[in-house]
């Protein structure tokens, strides 16, 4: 392995005029490092990591830049020391430059991939992505890469743009979460109005899943951001989407699964602010959640998410408690307690029943 990596690094250094050879060498380095975690450490020790980083910036050939970034991302993903070595303001500025300029879509995707890897589970990366302005460029891509009015994923160009947009969503998610980053959450909440527009215009899984992940993680455990989301109509939009999906779930199983995704996002918004339950009462969301709970295609984990949301809905809202009574929610909770062996489900059912005793 060591001999191979030394030879491949030499190949990179002495084939500066041969883009194809450099790309092949990078692909091979990537493959070796993926198969052997020690390879990444050794490649860093012999100066390979820094050479590839500089190559990504200096090469005139897009295919070499893309392969270099792909290799950097894979190595950093495999080894935390390599992630730390690459986590510099200089690299974030280079990646921001690739994203800001007229780069081809593959180069942008590779740049976003490297950002995602550098920021993931890394508070230093979360800070640098903000301080270098990189998160500003990511948020612009979130708003502009695809049109919410023309999402034909069978079109090759549209699909490539969608893949970039989806990667941007994933990267914004790690900017705000794990560890939770309040400052990045505050920045990303400016995208909520745009996310709302997406949800109003498009209820396909390809849009709902990434948007709900982004919203849920951006407002998680942050009461200020949750209040802002409600103030721009976010909870109303989620309620409307949930109503539509619950209605569709009688015909298609996938709509029931998607409705649970939306339910979890609703719960992330109201868990710390049960008074927001009043917004949900306008749409009789409790009755929709009870109907979903009876869906045979859902597993115990999904049913737990629905019950937990019911608990938060009824925690501080008499209208929702009344909706629960009116739609036979109490017998359902009691049935769950008596029939289920799942401890989490039982806790959630007890939570709902406790709220209704108040």
Instruction: Sketch the domain layout of the chain as residue ranges.
Output: 1-86, 233-358
The model's pTM: 0.94
Closest by CA position to 215, among listed 259, 271, 173: 173
Q: Is the pLDDT of residue 142 over 90?
A: yes
For 233-358, CATH number out of 2.60.40.1260, 3.40.50.10420, 1.10.1040.10, 1.25.10.10 equals 1.25.10.10
Alpha-carbon distance of 289 to 14, in angstroms, equals 64
For 8-54, the pLDDT digits (tens) are: 999 999 988 899 999 999 999 999 999 888 999 999 999 999 999 99
206-226, pLDDT tens digit by residue? 999 999 999 999 999 999 999
Helix, strand, or coil here: 220? Answer: coil
Q: List C-alpha distances in Å: 346 to 208, 272, 326, 339, 355.
A: 29, 21, 22, 9, 14
**To which H or E segment does residue 202 belong?**
none
357, exposed or middle or buried, with CB in 10 Å at 0-12, 13-18, 19+?
Answer: exposed
Please report which helix (H) or strand (E) contains residue 31, including its range. Answer: helix 19-35
The residue among 291, 354, 281, 276 whose CA lies nearest residue 327 is 291
What local confidence, expressed as pLDDT, does residue 149 receive?
67
Q: Are 124 and 133 in contact (CB under 8 A)?
A: no
Instruction: Tell me what the pLDDT averaged over the chain comes to.
Output: 94
């Amino acid at each position: 392995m060591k001999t191979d990596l030394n030879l491949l690094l030499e190949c990179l250094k002495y084939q500066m005029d041969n883009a194809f050879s450099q790309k092949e060498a990078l692909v091979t380095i990537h493959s070796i490092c993926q198969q052997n975690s020690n390879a990444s450490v050794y490649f860093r020790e012999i100066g390979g990591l820094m050479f590839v980083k500089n190559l990504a910036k200096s090469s005139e050939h897009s295919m070499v830049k893309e392969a270099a970034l792909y290799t950097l991302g894979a190595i950093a993903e495999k080894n935390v020391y390599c992630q730390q070595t690459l986590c510099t303001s200089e690299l974030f500025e280079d990646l921001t430059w690739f994203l800001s300029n007229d780069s081809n879509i593959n180069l942008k995707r590779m740049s976003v991939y490297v950002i995602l890897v550098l920021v993931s589970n890394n508070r230093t990366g979360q800070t640098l992505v903000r301080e270098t302005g990189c998160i500003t460029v990511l948020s612009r891509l979130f708003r502009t890469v695809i049109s919410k009015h023309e999402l034909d994923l069978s079109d090759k160009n549209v699909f490539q743009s969608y893949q970039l947009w989806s990667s941007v969503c994933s990267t914004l998610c790690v900017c705000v979460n794990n560890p939770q980053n309040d400052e990045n959450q505050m920045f990303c909440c400016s995208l909520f109005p745009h996310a709302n527009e997406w949800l109003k215009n498009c209820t396909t899984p390809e849009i709902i899943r990434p948007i709900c992940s982004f919203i849920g993680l951006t407002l998680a455990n942050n009461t200020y951001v949750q209040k802002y989301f409600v103030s721009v109509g976010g909870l109303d939009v989620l309620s409307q989407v949930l109503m539509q999906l619950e209605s569709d779930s009688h015909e298609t199983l996938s709509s029931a699964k998607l409705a649970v995704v939306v339910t979890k996002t609703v719960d992330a918004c109201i868990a710390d602010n049960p008074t927001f339950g009043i917004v949900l009462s306008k749409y009789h969301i409790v009755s929709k959640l009870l109907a979903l709970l009876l869906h045979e295609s859902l597993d115990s984990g999904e049913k737990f998410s629905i019950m937990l949301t019911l608990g938060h809905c009824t925690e501080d809202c008499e209208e929702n408690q009344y909706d629960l009574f009116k739609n036979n929610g109490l017998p359902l909770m009691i049935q769950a307690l008596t029939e289920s062996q799942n401890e989490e489900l039982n806790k959630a059912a007890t939570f709902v029943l406790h709220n209704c005793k108040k």
